[in-house]
Amino acid sequence: MSLQIQMLGTGSAFAKTFYNTSALVRSNGLNVLIDCGVTTPKSLHDLQIKPDDIDGIVISHIHADHVGGLEEIAFRLLYESNRKKTKLFLPKAIADILWENTLKGGMYNPADGFNSLEDYFHVLIIEENKPYEIGPGLTIEYIPTLHIPEKPNYSLFINGRIFYSADTRFNRDLLLQEVVDNRNCHTILHDCQLSGKGFIHATLEELLTLPEHVQERIYLMHYSDNMNEFIGKTGRMTFIRQHEVLELPES
């Protein structure tokens, strides 16, 4: 059996060409989003995928380029699909702040009984560092990683063999010891800041210090609009493109 990952967007928070980085995971009839940024609904529209077609959404952290599309998805399910809810997977640290700090301003509607995240989504709290079965043949595991100090942020293991960084600073030990040596991940989808200092993201310069056998497993995402200037300068690593589909083994 295979698992598909289609990139709905591959751009950074400020990219205008490639949309916000998010992915659609297809497995055994399930369609699950990883993150839902401001441009994610537009990308779904481009692919003729409706909110009704989405079985769940996995959230890595609460920056707008990762959660800014949740309001549109929720409202469209509410008003176009007869109050249908979709599943929202997230750790408790994110669930505690997503509504109050991000979504409440636009979605709070006490007159109609919409007072919380649970009024719009089937909220499923996922324990950190523990695989969780979303559906047959599809598990996710949340791993705390450093992006912005003192703000909850997570990378993901998908079926234990695919690493999806979301947003994180460069962590050589995590990549070499846990991702490659311990878990033998065959596929690594990693955010990549193409130039400048890596204050909150892994930089291309840092990722190029990894051994070639690790680089060969890496697809670069979350890059800026000048990505074309760096083609041929990424070592053994490959840029993944918007709407590109990876056909991967389930395990």
Active-site residue numbers?
A: 71, 108
* Burial per residue of 137-164, b for 16 or more beta-carbon CB atoms within 10 angstroms, e otherwise: bbbbbbbebbbeeeebbbbbbbbebbbb
The DSSP symbol for 147 reads S
Tell me how far apart the alpha carbons of residues 135 and 20 are, in angstroms, rounded to a whole number: 26
HSE value, Cβ hemisphere, 13 Å, CA-based, for 214: 19
SS3 (DSSP) at 208: coil
156: tokens are: 């993901």
Q: Are 71 and 53 in contact (CB under 8 A)?
A: no
Torsion of CA 205, 176, 161, 149, to 10 degrees: -70
